[in-house]
Amino acid sequence: MTIKSAMLCAALGVGAGLLPGVASARTYVDIDIAPPAPREEFIPEARIGYVWAPGYWEWSGHRHYWVSGHYIRERHGHRWVADHWDERHGRWHHEHGHWD
C-alpha cells in the first residue's frame, strides 16, 4: 500500500467516524414572532409499533407554516418529545421533536 493510499484510508475512516455526529446535529431557531395557536388535528387510528408526533408550526425564515402530525416508528424505552416553541426573554425558541 502506498503512502497516498494509506492517507486516503485514514481520512475516510476519520470522516466516517464524524458522520454520526453531523447527522444528529440540531439547529435552533430564535425569533421575535410568536407562533400561531396549534391547529386542531384529526388523529388517525393508532398503529401498533408507532407513536403520534403532533403537528407544529415551523419557521421558514419569513413566516410560520404548519407541519401536519404523523406517526413515527416507536423506539422501545424512549419517549417522544413533540416539537414546541418556548418564549425566552421576549424571543421565541423552537425545540425540534426528539426521543428522550
Q: What is the pLDDT of residue 60?
A: 93
What are 42-69's pLDDT values in tens digits? Answer: 999 988 999 999 999 999 999 999 999 9
86 found inside a domain:
yes
Q: What's the DSSP call for residue 72?
A: E
Residue 92 forms beta bridges with which residues? 31, 87
14 found inside a domain:
no
Regions of the chain with pLDDT less than 50: 6-9, 19, 21-22
Predicted TM-score (pTM) of the model is: 0.69
54 found inside a domain:
yes
Q: Domain range for residue 80? A: 28-99
The total number of structural domains that make up the chain:
1
91 found inside a domain:
yes
**Which of 6, 4, 92, 98 is closest to 53 using CA atoms?**
98
Q: What is the pLDDT of residue 25?
A: 65
12 found inside a domain:
no
1 found inside a domain:
no
Cell of 81: 418529545
8 found inside a domain:
no
59 found inside a domain:
yes
